[in-house]
């Protein structure tokens, strides 16, 4: 306190004494008057002093009462903190607001539940749990003061209306919501408290760099929520690290003119927004820290394969039988990764061996994650073809089968067309000529190169022709019935389990090409024959003589339909003597017509595509095997036109086309789903594996024949340069696409679990193309199940050795990953080098890395602001360690288990939030964010998107809201609508007990069993209505009722999916809050028990990585915890504390 100068009367008194006037003359009686006046003055002074004493005593008493009320307010905070520690300190707790309980007015009251998971990964075929029962039985308590703590607390207590006499801890005008709590009697007073959670709100001051070195990193993990679509907020362009330090509470938000409109009051924002929301990276299901996949997957092969690291168990390894130390993502349902089925095809039996029972392992995920190390530059980022493999498959010499687990990188067979022509050769014999044209689709967003491919038909070649050859006068010369299998088989019957003939696709059509075949990103590449004239087929010839070479078309002149496989139809060329007589020669004036039949209703037609191994003397790897089974589709027939012998001798005459094709979404007789219920990257396409479906092949492939006299009549359209054909909506230039990428090959380390949506983790083609992060119910399983084991195919053949697993891969992958693992963003940047592709690209890393783990750690720990992680929401917590000690602790293999104790998520968001404003800010996190467009140029064009983009690819191409080649962007109105629907789903299904539950559907058989909360919200908003395209038939699916909507556009690149949204927001999601605000209230009572003083205070508290008993390191597993840590979990600390002043409380916070 400052001391003020003395401006009293003493100086003046001294002057009066010095210069005194002479006394007046004495007056009789004056003394008595003076004495009486002095006595009166003394009485007045005495009364004044008595009053002053009374005021002083009263003021002293008020200060004491005030101090007692403040002490009781502090006590209430201590009681609340104790309760919070007891209920929510354990990792295995989730928090949600009372808004999830219908009928309560205390909507912001915080409830705590024990977490739970159905644990399908432990037993995929388990019966469906009762989700509602689990949610009712796991409630622990409300974070509100209660008069009688001994009474067992129930979830429904929050429905009881608060009493008018209870103190108000939060009020609508100041905080945006009302919340009262019951007072608890304490000595000489009362106390009350309430806790609210901050992670259900959008954080306004998340720090981080204004722009990353790779600006597209934000597309894989948004930097922060964006409230700008909700007035009165604005969208700052920069200054986030400074804002994080300066804006420490909502009142200070008003001072940030770039964040909020000037002179806007900030009172009432506390319901939806916060400046305090930080989350821990803990596992809500099992407890303990999450494991960092960036550090884990960047370990060397030797370190990654170790069983343990310095007594810490390696989470990527297991002792699962048949998996040779690798850890499958879920429990296998059968032994071994191969399923066998012996089919009886009449003349022969054949044992099919399908590698379709292997469970993806963490090695599988790692193989996808590490793709950036193996990309090279050749006209842009390029990957070399590699086959799929699983460690559980039987070992195959010369192939990776059974030795590694890896995802595939390879093209897809789009169309195989055989143009059918009639021809009379130089010996005047009748031939059918089959001229192949192949279109291959690269479904990836980077170029793919391969040494070559081999395609061939086998089992049956189910074409037959009934001929009618007449002479000039009309007299019949011959009318043989020729079944092509008898003219093409090298065996003793018309069926042949070996290939009939081979199509070898190389870069230049030679046996020893100088370079690999290259398919650009998303390219639908056309291949045609090298030969310009028909070449005779010899069914007894070697593989080499039965091989026709094809090359990619580089210009229209190379597109060739003059050559072909000429099959002579004489009795000498057949296996049973059928055909035209050997001695018969067709005369120029003869006339030939016939009826050509594709007997797909009676016979089987199988097509296989392999890598180049067969042609290089190595064991081939099967890329695709498409069966068209009989007894499903009807035969097809057309009448060939009549030609004279001279016309047929001049040149082959095209009469029709036999095609195996990838069905399209719009323009076709039978449209098909392309990505929703089918997976084009998988090898085996046959009815055996459909889980009981009645397809000839599968939902997405079909074989058919039709009449045509030209290439255009066959529906094959080429781009003007002849290089490509069309796919997608159709095979036509009008609405098909010559380039359309469906899947990303990562060019940079992943930053979110949702990034695995592009990894093909499914065992068969029968499921969604993008599994991780999506949640559609399988069309091949009842909605109330996640997996089953079939002992026999729908046609009756037995599966051996133990059956065919049919699984909902999405569900199991989501459950395995979302709660236990995360991506820190501590990963290098990779720069591909110029090079030419070969299989060695996968054994030798070709890209250069920006630094090793220790280098990256050192830079981050030394200056996290200058060297942030790629996931910018990850903030460093040193926990008292020096830079060197921290780096040494993390730059070891077990660092992936420890780093979560040194990172916290700035702006972590609890999905149990019921705030529409908070959800809209989180969903709009990329609103207006610039990013690079992959337009083929070296640097790429920068896009400044006005809306909120949700690119499926980290390096998107095309334009916004293009159905086939682009990215989705939502305007503010659609974001708001999605947020509203999201809150409706939270209220319907919540609280969510794990992130796995939030992402997944609830397999209970009801409406929630068809898709997860987020996908359901997306669907209900109608965001995808313009991308639904055509309705497809669900009758052949074993569980077609699960398909909703049954539209061909579901899952295509422009269709917004749950995984797309999670790709943006997934890295900051949680099912619990770790930051809370405690409001405490205290009363002081007089001896009669009457309240005479009140006080309010507030504390911001944060759960930290340290256990309450800090003698155990944060990474200690739950099973090894001390009793104290098992009971109380991780330590809560007070971040800030303040008393709430009267002017802030005003009358609105007064006790009612």
3-state secondary structure string across 541-576: CCCCCCEEEEEECCCHHHCCCCCEEEEECEHHHCCC
Structural contact between residues 310 and 894, judged by C-beta atoms closer than 8 angstroms: yes
In this predicted model, what pLDDT tens digit does every residue of 93-104 receive, in sequence order? 999 999 999 999
User: Is residue 984 one of the residues assigned to a domain?
Assistant: no
> Which two structure tokens, joined as six digits, stand for 527?
């291949």
pLDDT at residue 715 is higher than 50: yes
Q: Which residue has the tokens 């821990």?
A: 280
In this predicted model, what pLDDT tens digit does every residue of 1090-1117 receive, in sequence order? 999 999 999 999 999 999 999 999 999 9
Cut 0.85: pTM above it: yes
Residues of the chain above pLDDT 90, percent: 85
Helices (H), 1082-1141: 1123-1128
Q: What is the mean pLDDT of the chain?
A: 92
Mean pLDDT of 614-637: 92
Say if strands 291-292 and 139-142 run parallel, antiparallel, or are unpaired: unpaired
pLDDT at residue 56 is higher than 50: no
10 Å CB burial of residue 891 (0-12, 13-18, 19+) is: middle
pLDDT at residue 71 is higher than 50: yes
| Boundary of a domain, candidates 708, 737, 766 | 737
In this predicted model, what pLDDT tens digit does every residue of 409-442 receive, in sequence order? 999 999 999 999 999 999 999 999 999 999 999 9
Q: Which residue has the higher pLDDT, 953 or 1142?
A: 953
In this predicted model, what pLDDT tens digit does every residue of 995-1036 receive, in sequence order? 999 999 999 978 899 999 999 999 999 999 999 999 999 999
Structural contact between residues 1011 and 1001, judged by C-beta atoms closer than 8 angstroms: yes
* Confidence at residue 994, expressed as pLDDT on a 0 to 100 scale: 98
Tell me how far apart the alpha carbons of residues 906 and 377 are, in angstroms, rounded to a whole number: 37
* Confidence at residue 76, expressed as pLDDT on a 0 to 100 scale: 98
530-544 as b/e: b if 16+ CB within 10 A:
bbeebebbebeeeee
pLDDT band at 1148 (very low <50, low <70, confident <90, very high): very low
| Boundary of a domain, candidates 686, 713, 737 | 737
User: Is residue 253 one of the residues assigned to a domain?
Assistant: no
pLDDT at residue 30 is higher than 80: no
User: Is residue 1031 one of the residues assigned to a domain?
Assistant: no
- N-term to C-term CA, the chain: 37
Mean pLDDT of 955-981: 95
Tell me how far apart the alpha carbons of residues 920 and 975 are, in angstroms, rounded to a whole number: 6
Mean pLDDT of 106-110: 96
Vertex 963: Cα angle to 959 and 964 (nearest 5):
85
Q: Measuring CA to CA, how many Å separate 511 from each of 308, 385, 549, 840?
A: 48, 19, 8, 20
- In this structure, the dihedral spanned by the alpha carbons of residues 630, 632, 635 and 636, taken in order and rounded to 10 degrees, is -120
Tell me how far apart the alpha carbons of residues 116 and 131 are, in angstroms, rounded to a whole number: 10
User: Is residue 109 one of the residues assigned to a domain?
Assistant: yes
The H-or-E segment that residue 58 falls in is helix 30-88
In this predicted model, what pLDDT tens digit does every residue of 283-340 receive, in sequence order? 999 999 999 999 999 999 999 999 999 999 999 999 999 999 999 999 999 999 999 9
Domain that holds residue 176: 58-198+1077-1149
User: Is residue 365 one of the residues assigned to a domain?
Assistant: no
E runs forming strands in 613-766:
622-628, 636-644, 653-662, 684-685, 701-707, 727-728, 736-737
* Confidence at residue 1111, expressed as pLDDT on a 0 to 100 scale: 97
Q: Which residue has the higher pLDDT, 1065 or 1005?
A: 1065
pLDDT band at 944 (very low <50, low <70, confident <90, very high): confident
Tell me how far apart the alpha carbons of residues 163 and 165 are, in angstroms, rounded to a whole number: 5
Cis check: omega of the bond before 1045, within 30 degrees of 0: yes
Tell me how far apart the alpha carbons of residues 614 and 363 are, in angstroms, rounded to a whole number: 28
User: Is residue 419 one of the residues assigned to a domain?
Assistant: yes
User: Is residue 337 one of the residues assigned to a domain?
Assistant: no
* Confidence at residue 40, expressed as pLDDT on a 0 to 100 scale: 53
* Confidence at residue 846, expressed as pLDDT on a 0 to 100 scale: 84
* Confidence at residue 410, expressed as pLDDT on a 0 to 100 scale: 97
Weakest mean pLDDT among 400-404, 719-723, 940-944: 940-944
Tell me how far apart the alpha carbons of residues 1044 and 1050 are, in angstroms, rounded to a whole number: 9
> How many other CB atoms sit within 10 Å of the CB of residue 821?
21
User: Is residue 263 one of the residues assigned to a domain?
Assistant: no
Tell me how far apart the alpha carbons of residues 486 and 603 are, in angstroms, rounded to a whole number: 13
396 DSSP assignment: -
In this predicted model, what pLDDT tens digit does every residue of 568-579 receive, in sequence order? 999 999 999 999
Q: How many helices (H) and strands (E) does the chain have?
A: 22, 58
* Confidence at residue 359, expressed as pLDDT on a 0 to 100 scale: 98
Residues of the chain above pLDDT 70, percent: 94
163 DSSP assignment: P
pLDDT at residue 1144 is higher than 90: no
Weakest mean pLDDT among 391-405, 499-513, 804-818, 928-942: 928-942
pLDDT band at 364 (very low <50, low <70, confident <90, very high): very high
pLDDT band at 135 (very low <50, low <70, confident <90, very high): very high
The H-or-E segment that residue 1099 falls in is strand 1091-1107
Weakest mean pLDDT among 307-311, 650-654, 899-903, 1142-1146: 1142-1146
Most confident of 30-44, 250-264, 857-871: 857-871
pLDDT at residue 227 is higher than 70: yes
**Cα 168–chain centre separation:** 42
Any residues with CB less than 8 A from the CB of 997 and at least 6 apart, and which?
117, 118, 1071
pLDDT band at 1070 (very low <50, low <70, confident <90, very high): very high
pLDDT at residue 666 is higher than 90: yes
In this predicted model, what pLDDT tens digit does every residue of 232-249 receive, in sequence order? 999 999 999 999 999 999
| Boundary of a domain, candidates 681, 716, 737 | 737
Structural domain count, the chain: 2
Mean pLDDT of 799-810: 97
pLDDT at residue 1054 is higher than 70: yes
Tell me how far apart the alpha carbons of residues 458 and 129 are, in angstroms, rounded to a whole number: 46
pLDDT band at 28 (very low <50, low <70, confident <90, very high): very low
């Amino acid at each position: 306190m400052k001391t003020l100068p003395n401006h009293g009367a003493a100086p003046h008194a001294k002057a009066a004494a010095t210069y005194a006037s002479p006394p007046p003359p004495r007056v009789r009686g004056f003394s008595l008057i003076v004495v009486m006046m002095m006595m009166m003055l003394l009485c007045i002074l005495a009364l004044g002093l008595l009053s002053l004493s009374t005021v002083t005593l009263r003021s002293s008493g008020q200060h004491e009462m005030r101090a007692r009320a403040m002490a009781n307010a502090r006590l209430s905070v201590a009681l609340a903190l104790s309760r919070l520690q007891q209920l929510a300190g354990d990792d295995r707790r989730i928090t949600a607001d009372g808004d999830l309980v219908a009928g309560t007015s205390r909507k912001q009251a915080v409830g705590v539940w024990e977490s739970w998971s159905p644990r399908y990964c432990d037993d995929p075929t388990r019966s469906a749990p009762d989700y509602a029962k689990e949610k009712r039985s796991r409630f622990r308590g409300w974070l509100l003061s209660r008069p009688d703590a001994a009474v067992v607390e129930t979830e429904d207590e929050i429905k009881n209306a608060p009493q008018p006499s209870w103190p108000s801890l939060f009020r609508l005008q100041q905080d945006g919501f009302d919340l009262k709590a019951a007072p608890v009697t304490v000595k000489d007073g009362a106390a009350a408290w309430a806790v609210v959670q901050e992670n259900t709100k959008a954080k306004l001051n998340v720090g981080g760099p204004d722009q990353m070195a790779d600006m597209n990193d934000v597309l894989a993990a948004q930097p922060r929520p964006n409230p700008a679509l909700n007035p009165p907020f604005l969208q700052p362009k920069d200054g986030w690290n400074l804002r994080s330090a300066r804006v420490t509470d909502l009142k200070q938000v008003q001072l940030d003119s770039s964040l909020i409109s000037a002179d806007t009051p900030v009172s009432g924002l506390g319901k939806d927004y916060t400046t305090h929301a930080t989350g821990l990276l803990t596992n809500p299901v099992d407890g303990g820290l999450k494991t960092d996949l960036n550090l884990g997957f960047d370990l060397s092969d030797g370190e990654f394969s170790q069983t343990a690291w310095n007594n810490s168990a390696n989470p990527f390894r297991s002792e699962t039988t048949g998996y040779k130390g690798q850890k499958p993502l879920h429990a296998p349902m059968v032994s071994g990764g191969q399923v066998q089925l012996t089919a009886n095809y009449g003349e022969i039996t054949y044992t099919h061996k399908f590698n379709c029972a292997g469970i993806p392992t963490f090695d599988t995920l790692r193989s996808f994650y590490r793709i950036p190390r193996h990309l090279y530059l050749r006209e842009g980022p390029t990957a070399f073809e590699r086959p799929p493999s699983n460690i559980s498959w039987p070992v195959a010499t010369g192939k990776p089968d059974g030795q590694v687990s890896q995802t595939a990188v390879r093209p897809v067979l789009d169309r195989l067309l055989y143009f059918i022509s009639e021809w009379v050769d130089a010996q005047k014999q009748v031939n059918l000529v089959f001229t192949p044209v192949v279109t291959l689709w690269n479904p990836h967003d980077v170029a793919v190169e391969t040494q070559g491919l081999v395609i061939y038909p086998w089992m049956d070649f189910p074409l037959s022709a009934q001929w009618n050859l007449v002479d000039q006068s009309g007299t019949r010369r011959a009318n043989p019935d020729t079944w092509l299998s008898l003219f093409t088989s090298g065996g003793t019957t018309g069926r042949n389990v070996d290939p009939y003939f081979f199509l070898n696709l190389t870069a230049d059509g030679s046996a020893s090409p100088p370079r690999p075949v290259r398919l650009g990103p998303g390219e639908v590449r056309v291949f045609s024959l090298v030969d310009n004239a028909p070449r005779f087929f010899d069914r007894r010839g070697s593989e080499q003589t039965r091989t026709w070479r094809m090359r990619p078309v580089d210009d229209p002149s190379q597109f060739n339909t003059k050559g072909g496989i000429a099959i002579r139809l004489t009795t000498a060329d057949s296996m049973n003597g059928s055909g035209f007589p050997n001695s018969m020669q067709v005369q120029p004036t003869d006339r030939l017509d016939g009826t050509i039949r594709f007997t797909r209703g009676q016979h089987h037609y199988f097509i296989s595509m392999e890598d180049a191994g067969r042609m290089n003397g190595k064991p081939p790897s099967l890329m695709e095997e498409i069966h068209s089974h009989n007894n499903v589709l009807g035969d097809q027939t057309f009448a060939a036109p009549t030609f004279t012998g001279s016309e047929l001798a001049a040149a082959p005459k095209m009469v029709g086309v036999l095609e195996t094709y990838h069905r399209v979404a719009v323009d076709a007789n039978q449209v098909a789903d392309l990505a929703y219920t089918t997976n084009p990257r998988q090898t085996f396409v046959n009815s055996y594996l459909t889980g009981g479906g009645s397809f000839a092949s599968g939902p997405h492939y079909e074989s058919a024949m039709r009449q045509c006299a030209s290439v255009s009549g066959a529906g094959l359209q080429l781009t003007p340069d002849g290089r490509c054909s069309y796919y997608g909506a159709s095979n036509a230039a009008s609405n098909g696409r010559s380039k359309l990428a469906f899947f990303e090959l990562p060019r940079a380390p992943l930053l979110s679990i949702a990034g695995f949506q592009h990894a093909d983790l499914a065992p068969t083609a029968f499921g969604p193309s993008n599994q991780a992060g999506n949640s559609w119910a399988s069309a091949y399983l009842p909605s109330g199940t996640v997996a089953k084991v079939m002992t026999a195919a729908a046609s009756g053949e037995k599966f051996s050795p133990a059956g065919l697993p049919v699984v909902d891969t999405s569900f199991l992958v989501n459950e395995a990953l979302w709660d236990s693992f995360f991506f820190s963003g501590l990963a290098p940047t990779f720069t591909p080098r110029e090079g030419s592709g070969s299989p060695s690209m996968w054994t030798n890393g070709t890209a250069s890395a920006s630094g090793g783990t220790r280098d990256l750690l050192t830079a981050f720990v030394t200056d996290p602001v200058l060297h942030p992680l790629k996931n910018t929401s990850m903030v460093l917590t040193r926990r008292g360690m020096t830079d060197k000690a921290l780096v040494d602790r993390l730059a070891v293999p077990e660092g992936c288990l420890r780093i979560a104790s040194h990172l916290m998520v700035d702006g972590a968001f609890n999905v149990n939030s019921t705030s529409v404003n908070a959800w809209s800010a989180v969903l709009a996190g990329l609103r207006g964010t610039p990013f690079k467009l992959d337009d083929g140029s070296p640097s790429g064009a920068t896009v400044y998107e006005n809306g909120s983009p949700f690119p499926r690819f980290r390096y998107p191409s095309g334009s916004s809201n293009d159905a086939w080649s682009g990215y989705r962007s939502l305007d503010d109105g659609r974001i708001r609508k999605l947020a509203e629907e999201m809150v409706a789903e939270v209220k319907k299904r919540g609280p969510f007990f794990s992130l796995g539950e939030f992402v997944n559907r609830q397999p209970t058989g009801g409406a929630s069993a068809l898709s997860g909360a987020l996908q359901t919200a997306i669907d209900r908003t109608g965001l995808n209505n313009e991308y639904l395209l055509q309705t497809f038939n669900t009758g052949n699916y074993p569980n077609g009722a699960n398909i909703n909507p049954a539209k061909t556009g579901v899952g295509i690149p422009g269709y917004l999916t749950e995984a797309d949204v999670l790709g943006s927001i997934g890295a900051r999601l949680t099912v619990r809050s770790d930051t809370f605000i405690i409001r405490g209230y205290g009363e002081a009572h007089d001896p009669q028990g009457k309240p005479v003083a009140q006080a309010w205070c507030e504390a911001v508290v944060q759960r930290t990585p340290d256990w309450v008993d800090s003698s155990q390191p944060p990474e200690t597993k739950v099973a090894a915890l001390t009793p104290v840590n098992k009971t109380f979990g991780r330590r809560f600390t007070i971040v800030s504390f303040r008393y709430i002043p009267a002017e802030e409380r005003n009358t609105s916070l007064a006790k009612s």
